[in-house]
Amino acid sequence: MMTWKVLLPIGDATEVMDTLYPIFRLPEDDFEVVVAGPEARLYHGVMHEIPPDSSIPWDITREQPAYHVRATIAFKDVVPTDYVGLFLSGGRAPEYLRYDHHLLDVTRHFFQANKPVCSVCHGVEIAAAAGCITGRKMTSVAKCALDITSFGGEYVNQPVVVDGNLVSGRTWHDNTPMLKAFVKSLKAYVAANG
């Protein structure tokens, strides 16, 4: 049985709920997730949440250390034609990953080839920096709406938005409907492209 591969870029401060869910969910439908990073190594994950019972309210998410995630390939070594899809997870990692020209080239490949792309939370920063969201409708965490509109996209505040090959979700809270839409997109792509 042929294994279809999905690329998942990460870096230090990758949000673990954004990242680990697709790592475990996609293989249930026979898609192998390949985790890539600036280097092939172990990366520090983080957890973002607004504490529900904090005595001093938070206006934005609090960050704390979480699980570690290993990248098995460096961005510079990725051959994008080996993959049927791209998953852009969130956390603060995209803030610096969006400057990696290897990752931006890889990201452009998926949009130019009309392959399925899924973006959650801050993952939009990578697609935006690659110049791939102009004229596209997307969602993201509300604090990243400017990352969409500043690069010519249209921000929509709903759990999941599907715009052609692009599936987007706001945060890990939308993982289930977002991954359902992404898996549907991946299966359609594989069926059409053998």
Q: For 24-60, what is each residue's pLDDT tens digit? A: 999 999 999 999 999 999 999 999 887 777 677 778 7
Q: In this predicted model, what pLDDT tens digit does every residue of 89-125 receive, in sequence order?
A: 999 999 999 999 999 999 999 999 999 999 999 999 9
This prediction has a pTM of 0.96
Joined together, the tokens standing for residue 168 give 């987007």
Residues in Cβ contact with 52 at an 8 Å cutoff, skipping those fewer than 6 apart: none
Is the confidence at residue 2, as pLDDT, over 70?
A: no
Residue of 15, 65, 7, 77 whose CA lies nearest to 40: 77
Instruction: List residues bridging with 167 in a β-sheet.
Output: 118, 162
Least confident of 53-57, 84-88, 117-121, 171-175: 53-57
- Return the pLDDT at 136: 98
Q: For the chain, how far is it from start to end, CA to CA, in angstroms?
A: 13
Indicate the helix (H) or strand (E) that contains 179. helix 175-193
Spatial distance between the Cα atoms of 38 and 48, rounded to a whole number of angstroms:
22
* Over residues 9-25, mean pLDDT: 98
Give the pLDDT confidence score for residue 1 in this predicted structure. Answer: 53
pLDDT tens by residue, 123-155:
999 999 999 999 999 999 999 999 999 999 999
Cβ-count burial of 154 within 10 angstroms (0-12 exposed, 13-18 middle, 19+ buried)? middle
pLDDT at 51: 79
Spell out the domains of the chain, with CATH numbers in brackets: 4-48+61-193 (3.40.50.880)
Assess whether pLDDT exceeds 90 at residue 4. yes
